[in-house]
């Protein structure tokens, strides 16, 4: 199967410009882009025997464009409920423009999630979906670098960073509530800070652990103790039964999405 590499120009949709309820949906859009890169690498290595996007076949049985991939990896029910797919097709065509244009078009058309059964041919837990694509990309890096032609790996990483920003914003409210409850901290003592990346524009809000420890601790020794304990809480959120299940789930995903 001939691989037509369709590149994505990574542009920013700043998390600071989104309504809180939209963070998760936008994250799913970026995840779909990341999964498409996994599909391209998988197809380049394995042809029709690829594991990701098994039901996706493009024109003349060639590699799917992103729009074709999108249509074929959603549930039929959700695909039917999408807005004007033709408009989405007109805006991004059979190639992919800047990522900001793409995710906004997906969002406005009602895209909100993918179906793991249609994507992999079997049910894959939500916590494993991105890891599955990551395994494919890492396998291509180690065994078949030609499958990553056009800088696919670097661009996939950028899409993943956008997902990380959005997931961090999406979980912040539950994270703050759990943190305040467990450590009996008032809202006035909780300090937030902007987290930046040197790889993509924009930032997201997170708890400033040292700043909060300084606000709460009554002695230098107590401040130092809290500076150690607070990050431990953050690093173990994915298995802390004191916090909501959804927060544990999304923290696990966030901690695992690394390239």
The confidence band for 224, taking pLDDT boundaries of 50, 70 and 90, is very high
The residues with which 203 forms a beta bridge, in sequence order, are 196
Distance CA 214, CA 166 (A): 28
Q: What's the CA gap between 45 and 38, in Å, rounded? A: 11
| Domain residue spans of the chain | 15-164, 167-256
Q: Which residue has the tokens 């040292």?
A: 210
Query: Residues 6 or more apart from 218 whose CB is under 8 A from it?
Result: none
pLDDT digits (tens, 9 = 90+) for 177-217: 999 999 999 989 999 999 888 878 788 899 999 999 999 99
The pLDDT assigned to 207 comes to 93
12: pLDDT strictly greater than 60: no
Percentage of the chain modeled with pLDDT above 90: 23
What's the pLDDT band for 3 if we cut at 50, 70, 90? Answer: very low
**Residues in a beta bridge with 205:** 194
How far is 190 from 207, CA to CA, in rounded Å? 7
Cα–Cα distance for residue pair 129/116, rounded to 1 Å: 7
- The pLDDT > 70 percentage for the chain reads 81
Instruction: Kindly report the backbone phi and psi dihedral angles of residue 120, in degrees, each rounded to the nearest multiple of 5, phi listed first.
Output: -115, -5
pLDDT tens digits for range 80-124: 777 666 666 666 655 555 667 778 888 888 888 888 888 888 888
| Cα dihedral value 43, 49, 52, 55, nearest 10 | 110
> Three-class SS of residue 30?
helix
Query: Shortest CA distance to 252 belongs to which of 155, 167, 161?
Result: 167
- Contact in structure between 106 and 114 (CB atoms under 8 Å): no
For residue 103, what pLDDT is reported?
82
């Amino acid at each position: 199967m001939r691989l037509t590499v369709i590149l994505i120009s990574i542009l920013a949709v700043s998390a600071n410009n989104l309504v809180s309820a939209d963070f998760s949906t936008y994250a799913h859009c970026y995840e779909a882009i990341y999964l498409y890169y996994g599909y391209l690498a998988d197809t380049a290595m394995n042809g029709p025997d690829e594991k990701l996007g098994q039901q996706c076949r493009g024109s003349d049985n060639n590699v799917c464009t992103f729009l074709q991939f999108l249509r074929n990896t959603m549930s039929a029910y959700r695909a039917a409920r999408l807005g004007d797919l033709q408009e989405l097709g007109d805006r991004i065509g059979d190639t992919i423009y800047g990522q900001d244009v793409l995710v906004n078009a997906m969002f406005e058309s009602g895209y909100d999630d993918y179906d793991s059964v249609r994507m992999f041919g079997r049910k894959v837990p939500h916590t494993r979906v991105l890891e599955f694509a990551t395994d494919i990309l890492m396998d291509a890096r180690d065994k078949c670098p030609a499958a990553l032609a056009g800088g696919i790996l670097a661009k996939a990483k950028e899409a993943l960073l956008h997902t990380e920003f959005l997931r961090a914003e999406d979980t912040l409210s539950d994270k703050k509530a759990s943190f305040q409850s467990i450590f009996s901290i008032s809202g006035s003592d909780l300090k937030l800070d902007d987290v930046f990346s040197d790889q993509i524009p924009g930032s997201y809000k997170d708890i400033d652990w040292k700043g909060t420890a300084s606000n709460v601790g009554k002695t230098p020794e107590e401040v130092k103790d809290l500076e150690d304990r607070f990050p431990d809480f953050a690093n173990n959120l994915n298995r802390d039964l004191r916090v909501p299940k959804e927060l544990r789930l999304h923290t696990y995903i966030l901690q695992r999405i690394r390239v």
